[in-house]
């Protein structure tokens, strides 16, 4: 139910990711979602509220996707990294939604930035757990490295630099 809300959130997700948050206005979102302005402000108390919903939804979605990746330990880790690399080859790929959002919200105290930190901490935790499960040495440092490589893949992929993406994935898997 409340399909108007879903339509708004879906449209916002598409537009914010493809064109950036600051450049897409509320008017644009509600026009594309075919929703009245009052309805929008009925469901979201402000644009920032919508932005947070967009990121929170994406966070939940990624959690679902990555938790469904089969395998254990290093196999699963490799699957996750190569899947990210494959994704970055797609035509609609525009980098990591969280890193893009962070670039548009310079103030680290912002709720948006806190959500980005939370996302990255979760991702690092996932890497850490998989490293421990695989019985690898120095999982803390390796988890940090994998997070950084993930960031790099997202950035390079978003800029269309497939060579760097490939180098990143291969080296990460070798090191780890």
Partner DNA sequence: CCGATACTAGACAGACCTGTCTGGTATCGT
Partner DNA sequence: ACGATACCAGACAGGTCTGTCTAGTATCGG
Nearer to DNA, 44 or 119 (CB): 44
Report d(CA 18, CA 30) in Å as an integer.
Answer: 16
Among 106, 109, 135, 137, binds a second copy (CB under 8 A): 106
| Residue 78 burial (C-beta neighbours within 10 Å; 0-12, 13-18, 19+) | middle
Binding region for DNA (CB under 7 A) out of 1-9, 65-73, 91-99, 165-173? 1-9
The yes or no reply on residue 18 touching a second copy (CB under 8 A) is: yes
Region of residue 34 (left: phi > 0; alpha: psi -120 to 50; beta: else): left
Contacted by 39, from DNA, a second copy, none: CB < 5 to 8 Å by type: DNA
The yes or no reply on residue 38 touching DNA (CB under 7 A) is: yes
Nearer to DNA, 22 or 89 (CB): 22
The yes or no reply on residue 25 touching DNA (CB under 7 A) is: yes
What is the maximum span of the chain, computed from C-alpha positions, in angstroms? Answer: 56
Contacted by 100, from a second copy, DNA, none: CB < 5 to 8 Å by type: a second copy
Contacted by 36, from DNA, a second copy, none: CB < 5 to 8 Å by type: DNA
Which residue ranges make up the site for a second copy (CB under 8 A)? 18-20, 22-23, 94-95, 99-100, 102-104, 106, 108, 113, 116-117, 120, 124, 140-142, 144-145, 147-153, 155-156, 158-161, 163-168, 170-171, 175
Footprint on this chain of DNA (rule: CB under 7 A):
2-5, 25-28, 34-39, 41-43, 45-48
């Amino acid at each position: 139910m409340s399909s108007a809300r879903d339509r708004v959130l879906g449209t916002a997700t598409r537009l914010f990711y493809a064109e950036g948050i600051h450049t897409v206005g509320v008017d644009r979102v509600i026009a594309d979602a075919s929703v009245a302005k009052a309805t929008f402000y009925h469901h979201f108390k402000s644009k920032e509220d919508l932005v947070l919903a967009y990121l929170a939804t994406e966070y939940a979605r990624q959690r679902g996707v990555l938790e469904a990746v089969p395998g254990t330990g290093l196999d699963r880790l490799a699957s996750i990294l190569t899947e990210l690399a494959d994704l970055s080859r797609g035509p609609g790929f525009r980098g990591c939604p969280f890193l893009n959002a962070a670039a548009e919200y310079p103030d680290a105290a912002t709720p948006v930035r806190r959500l980005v930190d939370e996302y990255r901490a979760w991702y690092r935790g996932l890497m850490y757990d998989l490293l421990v499960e695989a019985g690898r040495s120095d999982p803390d440092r390796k988890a940090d490295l994998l997070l950084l490589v993930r960031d790099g893949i997202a950035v390079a992929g978003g800029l269309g630099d497939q060579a760097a993406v490939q180098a990143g994935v291969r080296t990460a898997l070798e090191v780890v």
